[in-house]
Structure 1
Amino acid sequence: MTGLRITVLPGDGIGPEVVAQALAVLDAVAPEVEVDVLDRVNATTFARTGAALTDDDLARIRASDALLLGAIGDPSVRSPDYARGVLLRLRFELDLYVNQRPAVLLHARLSPLRDPARRGIDCVIVRENTEGAYTGIGGTLRKWTPHETAIDADVSTYHGVSRVIEHAFRIARREVCVVDKANAVPFGGELWQRCWREAAGRHPGIATSHLYVDVAAMTLVSDPTRFDVVVASNAHGDILSDVAAAVAGGLGAAPSANLDPATGFGLYEPVHGSAPDIAGTGVANPLGAIASLAMLLADHGHEDQAQAIQTAIRSTVDKRRCTPDLGGALTTEQAAAAVIAELA
C-alpha cells in the first residue's frame, strides 16, 4: 500500500479549487502518497506559449502511477487545440481506452425522478474512449461556400470495441447492456453487436441486454434501476454518462476515470468541467474531485481508504454538510472539511 505516486493537473476554472480540497482529503487518509503537482498545464500557459501539453509534461505524467485532473477549459481560449492537446493527447498516447463513470444516488432528495421506487440509480457507464466520432478523422470540402460539406468519420475497430466490451463484463455485477444505433448505423453497429456476443460467450454468468441509444436514454430517465453496466461508443457513452449523472443528482459530485486496464494507469477527474461562471466564488462542489480521488485510490491498492471516503461523502450529503447544489450551504473548503471530519 506504499509507494503510490500520482501526478496532479489542477487545470482551469474551478479545477484548482476542487483539486486543492481533494489533496486535503488525500493527506488525511493516505499522507504517504507522493504527489507531483503540474500546475503549468492550463489555459494561461497555452495562451502565452501555444503549448497545451509538452513532451516534458507527458514524461512527468508517465513517471507516475496515476493522474488526478481538475478541469480543462477556459472561455478566453477559443482554439480547440488546447483541450484536444491536453485531454485527447493523454487519452491517445497513454491508450486510456476506457472511460468509466459510476452513477450512484447519494440521497433521495437529489433525484429528479418522481417515483421513489425508480430513483435508486447505481450503475456504471463504460464508454469507449479512443475511437468513435472523436478521433478527428474527416475534413471540409468547399469551405465558406453555400456548398460547404463537413465530414466526421465514426471509427470502430474490432480491437477497440472488443477490449472495451470485455472490460464492461469484467466489472459487471449482474448484467451488461450494450448500447448502439445499429438499426441506423449498420456497419459499426454490426461490429459492436458481434463483439458483444463474443464477450457474452466468455462470461456466461453475466446477463446481457441490448438497447438502441435513444431507448437507453429514455430508460435512464424513466427507470435507471434497470441498469448495472452500460457499454457504448465514444459519443453515445459521452451523452449517456451525463444523463446518468443528472439522474444521480447532478454533475457536481460525479467522478470519472480514463483507464488503460492493461497497464493500470488511469486519469481521474470530476465530470463537471471547469465551470468558469463560478470559479473563484467559493461555491464549487469538491465532491466530484474527492470521489475521483477515491476511485484512484481503490484502483491502486488503497481500497479501505477509498471506501472510507465514499462513506464520508454519503454522510455529509445526508447531513446537508455540502455545497448549495446538493442542498447545503457550505463553501468548497467547508464541504471538504466536513468530509475530513467524517473520516476522523
Structure 2
Amino acid sequence: MTTPQTFRIAAIPADGVGAEVVAAGRAVLDALAEDSGGAFSFAWEEFPWGCDYYTRTGKMIDDDGLDRLKDFDAIYFGAVGWPTVPDHISLWGLRLKICQSFDQWANVRPVHFLPGVQSPLRKADDTDLDWVVVRENSEGEYAGLGGRNLAGRGPGGEVAVQSALFTEVGCERIMRFAFDLARTRDRRKVSSVTKSNAQQYGMV
C-alpha cells in the first residue's frame, strides 16, 4: 500500500485580492486531496505578512521569515501591494525578498479559458487561447542594482542609477525551461518577447 504524502504549504495571502485568491485556491486543493482516495493531503500554515503587517510593524516580513519558509514544500503566494505602502517597499520587502533568496527564477503563467467563465477580452470567448508565459524572475530589472548619488551637490543634483543584470547562466536556464516545456505541448512553439528596442546590450 502506498504511504499517503502530505505536502506542507506556506500560505501568504498578503494584500488585496490575494486573500480571496488564496482562500479559493486552498478550497480547490483541499477538494482535490479529499478526492485522491488518501493518496495525498495538504498541511497549511498561513502567514500574515503584507502591507497591513508593514503598517503595524514596519516590516513586510518577520526577520526570521525566510528561515521559517525554507522547509515548506511550496509557498502559496497571493498578491502584494497597497496604496498606503510605496511599491518599491512592498514588492522588494516581500515577494522579491522570497524570490531572490530562494532563487525562484521561473515565473510560469498558463493562459486559457475556463468553462463557463466569460472573458473580459472582447471577442475572445470563441478563441481557443492556450499558451504559457515563462518569464525570468530573478535577473533583469529584478536584480536590484543601482543607487542614489551626488545628493551633496544640493537640490537637483542627485542622480539615480538603475541597472538590469543578465547572466549567461540565468538566460540559458530560463530559455531551456521554456523550450523543454514547449516539447510537452501539442503546439511546440516558443516566442521570445522583450522590451529591447532601447537596450543595445542586455536584450540584444
**Is the pair's TM-score, using the shorter chain for normalization, greater than 0.5?**
yes
Partner of 1:73: 81
Match of 1:9 among 4, 8, 12: 12
Secondary structure of the corresponding residue to residue 40 of structure 1? coil
Distance change in 2, residues 1:69/1:180 (3 Å): closer
| 8 A contact 1:52–1:83 mirrored in 2 | no
Match of 2:54 in 1: 46
Of residues 108, 112, 117, the one that matches 2:121 is 112
Q: 2:194 aligns with which of 176, 180, 186?
A: 180
CA separation of 1:181 and 1:80: change in aligned 2, threshold 3 A: closer
Unaligned runs of 5+ in 1: 191-344
Q: Pick from 154, 161, 175: which aligns with 2:164?
A: 154
Paired residue secondary structure (2:108) = strand
Give the gaps of 5 or more residues in structure 2: 35-39
How many angstroms apart in 2 are the aligned matches of 1:109 and 1:77? 33
Deviation per CA, 1:49-77, whole angstroms, max 9, x where unpaired? 22222243222321111111122222222
Report if the CA contact (8 A) 2:119-2:125 is conserved. no
Higher relative contact order (CA 8 A, sep 6+): 1
The yes-or-no answer on 1:164 pairing with 2:174 is yes
Distance 1:9 1:116 in 2: 32
Query: 2:144–2:164: 8 Å Cα contact kept in structure 1?
Result: no
The 5 Å alignment of 1:1-344 reads: 2-31=5-34, 32-78=40-86, 80-106=88-114, 109-110=118-119, 112-114=121-123, 119-142=127-150, 145-172=155-182, 173=185, 174-180=188-194, 184-190=198-204
CA contact under 8 A between 2:13 and 2:19: conserved in structure 1?
yes
- Contact 2:11-2:77 at 8 Å conserved across structures: yes
Q: Distance in 2 between matches of 1:73 and 1:152?
A: 21
- Once the two structures are superposed, residues 306-340 of structure 1 have per-residue CA deviations (whole angstroms, 9 ceiling, x without a partner) of xxxxxxxxxxxxxxxxxxxxxxxxxxxxxxxxxxx
Q: Match of 1:189, SS?
A: coil
- Provide the aligned length of Structure 1 versus Structure 2: 189
Q: In the aligned structure 1, how far is the partner of 2:77 from the partner of 2:142?
A: 20
| Cα distance between partner residues in 1 of 2:27 and 2:170 | 37
AA of the residue aligned to 1:176: V
Distance 1:183 1:45, change over 3 A: closer
8 Å contact from structure 1 (residues 6, 33) kept in 2 = no
Root-mean-square deviation (CA), in Å?
2.6
**Structure 2 Cα separation of the partners of residues 69 and 42 of structure 1:** 11
1:184–1:42 CA distance, 2 compared to 1 (3 A)? closer
1:135-158 Cα shifts (integer Å, max 9, x gaps):
221123445744553321011110
The 8 Å contact of residues 7 and 36 in structure 1, kept in 2 or not, is answered as: yes
Q: 1:43 to 1:189 in 2, by over 3 A?
A: closer
Scaled by the length of structure 1, the TM-score of the pair is 0.49
Structure with bigger helix share is: 1
Q: Does structure 1 retain, via aligned residues, the 8 Å contact 2:118–2:125?
A: no
Contact 2:30 2:42 in 1 (8 A): no
CA pair 93-183 structure 1, distance change in 2 beyond 3 A: same
Deviation at 1:110, TM superposition (A): 1.8
Q: Is the CA contact (8 Å cut-off) linking 1:7 and 1:64 kept in structure 2?
A: yes
